[in-house]
Structure formats: C-alpha cells, structure tokens
Structure 1
Amino acid sequence: MPRKRVRPEKESIVDLFGDVVQDRESYLYSIAEDDEALRLAREPAPRRDPANANAPAETAPDQAAPAPAERPRPISPLGRRDRPRKAPGAPAAPEPAVAPSSDLSPAEGFAAAAPGGAAQARRHLERLQRARLARARAEQTSGAHARDAWPELLDDRGLWSAVTVVHGALSVLSLGLYRPWMKTETRRVLWSNVQADDEPLEYLGTGAQLFRGLMMALILLGGIVALAWVAAAALGLMSLEALDGALSGSALELESPVRAALPLLAAMAAPALIALLLISPLLPLAAFRGRRYRLSRTRWKGVRFGMEGGGWSLMGLGLLWTPLILASAGLLWPVWRWLREARMTRAMRWGGEPFAFEGGPLPLLLHWLPAWGFLAALGALIAVPGARELAGLGDLPAVAARLGPLTLIALALLILMTATLLLANYRAAEVRLTTRARRLGGAWAECDFSVWHLVDSYMAVSRKNLWPGILVWLLIAAVAAIPMIGAMGAELENPDSGGLVEGLGDALDEKLFGGFHSWRAQGLVLMALVIDYFLSAVFTLWLWTYVYQRRRTEHLLASITLRDVHRLDAVRGRARQRDLEAEGMEEALDLFAV
C-alpha cells in the first residue's frame, strides 16, 4: 500500500499578503464589535475638565496616554542631520519581550513555542493590527466632516540662505560639478518647510543620484553635438576651412569683436541647428523623467508620490505637435502645453491613489492670445518689409537716427517690459489653470496665482535688496581691486619681464591682461578676475535661489486652497518601486531651477 504523503501546512494569508494588507483597507478579516482597534477608532475624543482648562484630557483606564510627537532633528547647512547626543556609559535599551496574547490561535501558539516561532507570531500580530487599523480608519473617514487645508512655507530661520551660500560656493569652486549636491540640500530644506494639512513634505533624494544623471546627460549631449558637427560637414553646410578662417579672423580683428564674431557664428550655425533638431524631441522625455524622479523622492504623511511609465508616449506626442506649432507660428503652443501636462498628471500617483486631470485648453489659449499677438506684430515689423512700410518704418536706420539714442533706449525698455508682463501673465494663468484641473481621490485645489505674484517675486530681488545689493557689489569690487593694485606695483617694478603665456600676441595681451606684461603682474590680474567671478557668482546664485524662488514659493503656496482633504485620509502607500535614475537631461539643461 503506497504511503500517503502528508502535505505541509500552508502559510497563513497574513504571511502571504501582509505587505499588501498593511497598505490599504482590509476586508480579509471578520472584525468583532469588541475589537480593540475598532473601538478606539470609534470612541469619541476624551473631554477636559471644565473646572481646570489646563488639565490634561481624561484617558480611558485601559488606554495609555499618547506619546509626545517626536520633533524632527534640524538640518545643518552642510546637509547633515544633528543627532541627539548619547550620555557616555548609558546602557542600551533591552529588546522588548514578546508577551503572550489571547489573539493567538492554537496553531499560532504552537508556532510561537517552536524555535523562532515567537518572531513569526509577533510579525503576524503586527500585520493583523495594521490591517484592522486601516479598516477602522477607512470606516471613520467615511463619516468624517469635510476638511480643507492651506499649504504654507514655514520660517526656516536662515537655514535656506546658509545652505545656498555654503553649497553655492562649493558649486562655483568646482565649476558646477558640485551642483547636484547643492540642489539636493536645497530641496531637502525647502521640502521640510512646506507644510500642508499640518504635515510637512520630505525629500529622500541624494546628490550621488543627481550626479549620475548629470554625467549620463552630458555624455548624451556630447554625442549629439559631435553627431551634429559630422552631419553638417557631410552635408557641406560647414567646412573646417571656413571655421579656421573664422577663428583666425577673430584673432586678428580684436578691435571690432562683434564684426569678427560674425564669421564664427555663421560657421557654427549649421551644427547648432542640427543639434537643436536632435535634442528637441528629447525635451518632453527629460521633463517627464525629471518630474518622476522628484515625485519618487517626495513623501507626504508617510506616503510617497510616484509616476507610472517611462515618458516615451509623451516624446511621441511632442514629435506630433512640433510641426503643428511651427505651422501656426506658435499659436498652438498652449494647446501642446495643456496636453503635455494632462499626460504627465494622469501618470502621477500618491501612494495607491492616481491623479486625474479635467478640463480643456481653451481658457489657456485665450490667455496666450495677447502675448502671441504682441510678439507676432513685433516679429512682423522686424522681418516683413511690407509691415514696416504700412507702419511708416520703411527706413529703419533713418528712423533710429531721427529718434536719437535716449528715445531708442526708452522704446526698447518699454517693448521689453510689455513682452515680459504679457509672458508672465500667460505663465501665471498656466499655473493657475493646471493646478485647478488636477484631482486626487476626490480632493481638488483652488488657485488664484496671478501675474502680480510673479512681478512681486522679481521685485523682491531689487526692492528689498537694492541698497544691500549695491553695497555687496561695491565690496566685491573693492576685494578684487586689491590684486589689481598689486599688479600695478609689480608692473612698475619690472615691466620688461616675460608674461605667463608667450606667443599670444600683443593685441591679445592688451585685451586679456590690460597692458600688464610681467608674469607677476599678469598672475595678480588673473587672481583679481577669479575673485571677482567667484564672489559675483555666489551672490547672484543667492539672489536667484533664495530671494526670488523663496518669494515665488511663498506666493504660490499662499494662493492654493486644498478642498476636501479628508478624502485622502484613507490613502495608503504602495510597495516601493525600483530606484529610478535622476533627471539627467533636465538636470543638464535647467541651470537655475530647484
């Protein structure tokens, strides 16, 4: 008689699906009415003693007092979190023992008594409690009152400014190679000070990830530029003889640099246009992957954001719409922007809840018409002779001579300010309309971001920092003048000694070193140029990153109201996806954004 094979006992459903159960509402268990988690979730909040308003709330006899919320540790300007000091010789906390529980079934009690069974039973109970609490929260949320939230930017007490100065200086000294770490620390400080519904954001990215993406993008861009040069030479649009003649002409005609640069620009125009045609299809892909990386490293209420897909469909959409935009002379630009944002938003998610995007591009197109009309009229006056004749500007040199230099400068400033305001108005409308169109689990946002918020952000650079900025520039000039004074003294002492680099020519020496011929004087001139570059670059980076972007972020968060946030209380996280690469192309091309 064949021996009957005994099948091993199957694993419990909690052990098989525990990672899924803990992240969403669970209906895999029958919960009794006297369950502890459900009873605590449905129990009303304890009342305070009216006789003593400062007394703590009464707690149930079987309920322990809630532990105080742990305050986040501050971040230093160098990006390290300040850890609490540990008293010397303090004994380590013992591991908590697994107490027997009445929730254990007979099989689980046998597993707990077996070697290693206590840990398995503890994990089983923890997963079961998390699943029951998830269902209790879901049932409690279904009857919760409507709740709104107002995002805000908290006071960082100068930490953002210190991070910008310290990491900006390191980025300038390394000629931009340290910039990925600067962006990482800037985002970490900014994210931690953005709060919505009493919960701050968290940034989980690293500088090494951004650096790898930047290096990959630079290698790709270098290959595209080399391919563009080879294609231009193969098509006969550019020759090495023409480029050599342009360079030699630039070296000889230093007295007229604009005229000398024209042959060089003409020789490089064909490779630049070919490289632009090769890079432009990659820009939508770079924007998609850049946002995917930032969302995958952002967490709110303990739940991560994310994006689905690789962005190749967005790249195909860009290839389809580029000829239409060119054929319409830029009129259909906002339609493409709206479709691009809709495709990217519908790929976004927060935990297990996907985003939605509603509405059409017609309102955005109406906001684009004033800016497009002004730019189209300006382009027609410059490029179309018939339009100039119609406007009475047939002979532009004669009109310019008649108006005079001051009138021309005032007219140019007026045109520039008008174009800037119209483009800022469109940009504000784009931010406002796309924010209103997003939906997440029944929650939505109201936004009243306007052009005046952008204007005030730009004015914050000049209005609040005008006189301090002038003082800083004067100090930079004074520090850079110290080596220049030393160079003058060295030149007077020994004017006949050779320079640092021989064979540059007298004209180039005069332009680069300003008439200083000795090696010591030229070294001091180079020192003055390096000091001026370093201090000016750090101060400009501080103005843009801290002053402008902080003001713009304040206005943007103050203009947003999150409606029906209580609908997001039941959202749970998902299993962590594989690590995605950094933004790469967007990191290489976008030099100023955070």
Structure 2
Amino acid sequence: MFRLVFGTGLLTVLTLGLYRFWQKTRVRRWLWSAVRPGGYPLEYVGDPYEKLLGFLIAVVILAFYIGIVNLLLMFASYAVFQGNFAAYLLSLVGVFPIWFYARYRARRYVLARTRWLGLRFGLAPGAWGYAFRALGHGFLTLITLGLLWPRMTFHLEKYRTDRTFFGETRMAQEGRWTMLFPALKWHFATLGLAIIGSVGLAVSPGNGWMLMVIAGITAVYSTVYYRVETLKRLTATKRIGPLRLTLDAKPGKVFRIQAGGYTLAALAAAFPTLMLLGLFLELQSLETLVELGLEDMPPLFAGLNRWLLIALSVMCYFAIFLLWSALTAAWVKLPLMRHYATGLSIAGTEHMVTFRQRPRDEHMEAEGFADALDVGASL
C-alpha cells in the first residue's frame, strides 16, 4: 500500500498533478479488491479518463461561478452596502451547497463504478436535494448547539441510502434518528469535564489544567466514538431487499488506529519538515536572520550552491506531502478499512439469486466537482 501510494504520488508530482486521476483509480482498485464480503472481492471499474473529463467540466462551471457570480455579488455589495464584506460573505455561503452537491455526485460515481458478484451498485440522482437538506439540517444543528446532530446524521444517511441500489434492488434505511442519540454520551462527558476544569482553574490551577487536558483527549475520542457508533446503528437498520447488514466495529480500536497512525506519520514527516526549515533559513539574507534573532545560527548547508538549495527545498516540500499521504494510507486508511470490512456481516445471501443487474450509469461528470473542490468524498 505504501509503495503504491508513494509511487503514484511521485508520478502525480512529476506530471504536475495530471496523474492524480490514474493514482486514485489504481489505489481504489487495490483497496476494493482487498475487501471480500463473503469471500468475494469488490471490483472498482472506474476510468481515469472519466475523472479527467469530469474535472475539466467542473473547472469550467466553477470558473463561471467564481467569475460571473462573484462579480455580480461584488457589484451588488458596493451598490447596497458600500463595501465588499457582504459579497465575500455571500460567496462563502454559496460554496456550501456546491460542497455538499460535489460529495453526493462523487458518491454516485464511486457506487456506479463498484461491483460485487458482478452486480453494479448505483445511486439515484438527487445531489441538489441532498445539498439543501444538508444545509437545513446543519442550520438546525447549529442553533441547537449540536443537540440535533444525530437527527442530521440520520436523515442525510437515509436520503443517501434510500436512493442506493445493488443491482436493481433498492436499499432502505430503517429506524429513527433518536436511536443515534446515545452516541453523544462522550460529548456530554467532555462538556462536563470542561466545565469542571474551568471551575478548577480558578480554585486549583494545576488540577484544572489536568482536567482540561483530559477534556481535550475525550473531545477527540468523542468524535471517533460518535462516528463509529452511529455507523454501527445505521448499518444494523439497513436492508438491501432480503439482505440484512450488521457491523461489529470498536470505537476504541478505531481511535488507536487513528491516533497511532497519524502520530507515526507525523514523526516520519518531521524529518523533511525540519530539513525544509533549515534550507529556508539558509536561503535568507543576513538582514532577515538578524531580524529573526538567528544571526549566530551555524550554517547547516555551507558551501552549497543557491540553486541547489532551492532544488533541495522543493524536494523536501513535496517529500512531506508524499510521505504523509503514503504513510497515512498504510497506517490509517488501510487498517480502518480492514477493521470495518472484517466486522461487516451480511445475512440472507441465499436470496441473492433473485437480484438482477442494473444498467450502466454513464455519469459524464464523474467526480469532477469533488476533485476540483478537493472535498475528499471518498478515497
């Protein structure tokens, strides 16, 4: 996994980003083939040329939006408010529906290019409906200070699931949003610790800070716990015709995978980061070093040509991102997929003989908007 991501990432850098579409395709094919529900691997049949074409289409549309719409907003802002703040604010708000739209479209493309036992998955159109529902639920979650977060999670997942197909069989999300409410328990625990810690800072600063540190750790864990626990509960109430799903995932293990993987990746990426910092300082003038108070710093790369220093700086810069992406893929994404895949159970597979193939979804835009906005809708 590391060699695949690092090698394709290097090719992406050398081709000035063009190879990214081939990189994503190769990585998905590798990962999909490693997931074997019932002993049968998933297949990813996406085409990098589709991704490239979709990206170009999305760039043209987004360029129109950014250019024309923002120009109109700027004109209206100056005409009404005699300033550009309103234009910037409305432009930022206008990105949110496009962001959700892009995520839904990317999910639709990935499902349309995923097969299991020869049957295609699919997702019905509905990206704008998803985007505006996400905005509405997000607003309700915001004004209730997060209390309706489970409601948003459930209804958005239900919207996606009820439009998902395996072959010609439609999936269904059952249950109620209140079943997700217990997943917030660690958030309430974090809130309690933070309140006690805040009071403790005034009474006993040492103990207060200790409680605040613990609250910070539990805040991170509460986010992981919520995602895993809601995923388990939502999976248990999904059905694909006669098929029933269950997921045995452990929040503690997911937290350890993420904490350990990201920590090790950060430590590994620290070496080129420190080298880049040293090269950056080496390239500065004496006046700049004096301003920074580093005029007595011993030369780290004495005798090297300035252009060589610049070349080494560029190499270190890209090495940071290449190492980070490759190591997190090997130490975080792959172990997480393995954990979820091994914990997934499917009941009722004896009825799958009645399932029929669905027609191919051409999906001309592919996941171009997700690539253009880099929303990370999927691997």
- Tell me if both proteins adopt one fold, taking TM over 0.5 as the criterion: yes
Residue among 238, 241, 257 paired with 1:441: 241
**How far apart, CA to CA, are the structure 1 residues paired with 2:10 and 2:47?**
19
Alpha-carbon deviation of 1:477?
7.1
The CA distance in 2 between the partners of 1:573 and 1:335, in whole Å, is 34
Aligned equivalents of 1:271, 1:177: Cα separation in 2: 33
Q: Residues of 1 paired with 2:269 and 2:145: CA distance?
A: 44
* 1:301, distance to aligned residue in structure 2 (A): 1.1
Q: 2:370 is aligned with what amino acid?
A: E
Contact 1:441-1:568 at 8 Å conserved across structures: no
Deviation at 1:553, TM superposition (A): 0.5
1:338 aligns with 2:154: yes
Residue correspondence of structure 1 range 321-332 to structure 2 within 5 A: 321-332=137-148
1:136-155 Cα shifts (integer Å, max 9, x gaps): xxxxxxxxxxxxxxxxxxxx
The aligned residue for residue 306 of structure 1 is 122
Aligned: 1:567 with 2:351: yes
The alignment's TM-score, normalised by the length of structure 1, stands at 0.54
Displacement, 1:334?
Answer: 1.8
2:22 alignment counterpart: 181
Q: Deviations over 1:531-588 (max 9, x none)?
A: 2112221111111122200000011011111111111122121333434421233332
CA distance in 2, matches of 1:542, 1:350: 32
- Looking at structure 2, the residues matched to 528 and 354 of structure 1 have their Cα atoms a distance apart, in angstroms, of 54
Match of 2:374 in 1: 589
> Is the CA contact 1:483–1:527 (under 8 Å) kept in the aligned structure 2?
no
Shift of residue 298 of structure 1? 0.7
Deviation at 1:181? Answer: 2.0
Residue from 43, 61, 68 that aligns with 1:202: 43
Residue type of the alignment partner of 1:447:
L
Superposed displacement of residue 362, structure 1: 0.8
* TM-score computed with the length of structure 2 as normaliser: 0.81
| CA shift for structure 1 position 218 | 4.2
Alignment partner of 2:357: what SS? coil
Going from structure 1 to structure 2, the CA distance change for 1:306 and 1:412 (only over 3 Å counts) comes to same
SS at match of 1:197: helix
Please tell me whether the aligned partners of residues 112 and 121 of structure 2 are also in contact (alpha carbons under 8 angstroms). yes
Query: For structure 2, which runs of at least 5 residues remain unmatched after alignment?
Result: none
Contact 1:334/1:365 (8 A) holds in 2: yes
Are 1:529 and 2:310 an aligned pair?
A: no
Superposition map of 1:435-474 within 5 A = 435-461=235-261, 474=271
Distance change (3 Å), C-alpha of 1:177 and 1:412: farther
Tell me which structure has the larger Cα radius of gyration.
1
Is residue 2:172 matched to residue 1:356?
A: yes
Looking at structure 1, the residues matched to 146 and 82 of structure 2 have their Cα atoms a distance apart, in angstroms, of: 27
Q: What is the aligned partner in structure 2 of residue 430 from structure 1?
A: 230
Q: CA deviation at 1:360?
A: 0.8
> Aligned partner of 2:255: which letter?
V
2:325 corresponding residue in structure 1:
541
- For residues 435 and 580 of structure 1, what CA distance do their matches in structure 2 show? 30
Partner SS for 1:554: helix
Distance 1:221 1:581, change over 3 A: closer
Q: Report whether the alignment pairs 1:277 with 2:93.
A: yes
In 2: Cα distance, 1:343 partner to 1:462 partner: 32
Change beyond 3 A, Cα 1:510–1:296:
farther
> CA offset at residue 166 of structure 1?
0.8
The letter for the 1-side match of 2:49 is: A
1:169 Cα deviation after fit: 1.4
Partner of 2:12: 171
Paired amino acid for 1:419:
A
Which structure has the higher relative contact order (CA within 8 Å, separation 6+)?
Answer: 2
Q: 1:205 Cα shift?
A: 0.7
Higher helix proportion (structure 1 or 2):
2
Could you tell me whether the CA contact under 8 Å between 2:279 and 2:313 is conserved in 1?
no
Of 535-544 and 271-280, more deviation after overlay is shown by: 271-280
d(CA) in 1 for partners of 2:33 and 2:305?
49
User: In the alignment, is residue 288 of structure 1 matched against residue 104 of structure 2?
Assistant: yes
Residue type at the aligned position of 1:554: R
Aligned partner of 2:338 among 554, 560, 565: 554
Is 1:374–1:419's contact at 8 Å kept on the other side of the alignment? Answer: yes
Question: Which residue does 1:414 correspond to in 2?
Answer: 214
Runs of at least 5 residues in structure 1 that lack an aligned partner in the other structure: 1-159, 240-268, 383-387, 394-398, 492-498, 500-504
> Cα RMSD between the aligned structures?
4.0
Residue 175 of structure 1: how far off its partner (Å): 5.4
For residue 330 of structure 1, give the secondary structure of its aligned residue in structure 2: coil
Aligned pair in 2 of structure 1 residues 323, 534: CA closer, same or farther (>3 Å)?
closer
Distance in structure 2 (CA, Å) of the matches to 1:418 and 1:547: 22
Q: Distance in 1 between matches of 2:358 and 2:329?
A: 34
| Pairing of 1:106-117 with structure 2 (within 5 A) | none
Name the CA distance, whole Å, in 1 between partners of 2:323 and 2:247.
33
- Aligned mates of 1:161, 1:592 — CA distance in 2: 21
- Whether the aligned pair in 2 keeps the contact of 1:545 and 1:592 (CA below 8 Å) is no
Q: What CA distance in whole angstroms lies between the structure 2 residues aligned with 1:576 and 1:593?
A: 20
Q: 1:542 to 1:319 in 2, by over 3 A?
A: closer
Number of equivalences: 368
Residues 1:231 and 2:73 are matched in the alignment? yes
Q: Which residue of 2 aligns with 1:124?
A: none
Deviation for aligned residue 1:215: 3.6
